[in-house]
Amino acid sequence: MKQSGCTVFNDRHFSCENCDGCVSGGFDAATSQIVLCQNNIRQQSHMNRVVTHELIHAFDHCRAHVDWFKNVKHLACSEIRAANLSGDCTLMNEIARFKFGLKGHHQTCVRDRAIRSILAVRKVSKETAEKAVDEVFDACFNDLEPFGRIPHSKADARRAYRDFQNRDRYNANL
C-alpha cells in the first residue's frame, strides 16, 4: 500500500463491528476503512481471507482510483481480483461449500463470487452484474498485483511476499 502511495494506519483504517446478515466484511471507500464483521467471523482462517479480500479492494482504491459508485465495471474488476487473490476460491473452501470441479473451476468460482458480491452491494440486476464481470474478467483475473501470483496456500503466500520484498532488487538488475 505504501509503495502505491497510500499509508495505512491499523487504528484508523480497520474497524471491527457487528454486521447484519451473513456479511463478513467490507471496504468503505469514503473513509478508506476496512470493516470486519466480528459477529460473523468465527475462525482465524476466515478472518485472514476477509482481511486479504478487503485489502485487495483498498489496494485497488489506492492504485486504480476505482469509481465504486458510478462504474460497475470498476467494482466488478476489484471483486474479481479480490475473489481470485484472497483464497475465497481455494479447493478446500469450495469443497466445504459442496462445490467442486476440475477444469476451470477456479475461474468459475471467481466469476460467481464476483457477481454475488456486486449484487450484495449494488442495486443492479443479475444480468447487469454478469455482463460487467464478463466484460472485464480476463484482464482483471490476470492482474495479480500486488502478489504476482495466486496464493493457493500459505507456502505460495510466503513465496509471493518474498518475491515482493525482492522486487526492487530484481528490477535494479534489468
Active-site annotation, residues: 54
Count CA atoms within 13 Å of residue 51 on its CB side: 13
> What residue spans of the chain are helical by DSSP H?
10-13, 44-64, 72-85, 91-96, 105-121, 126-141, 154-165, 167-172
CA dihedral 101, 103, 105, 110 (to 10 degrees): 180
The dihedrals phi and psi of 34, each to the nearest 5 degrees, come to -95, 125
- Could you give the CA distance from residue 1 to residue 64 in angstroms, rounded to a whole number? 12
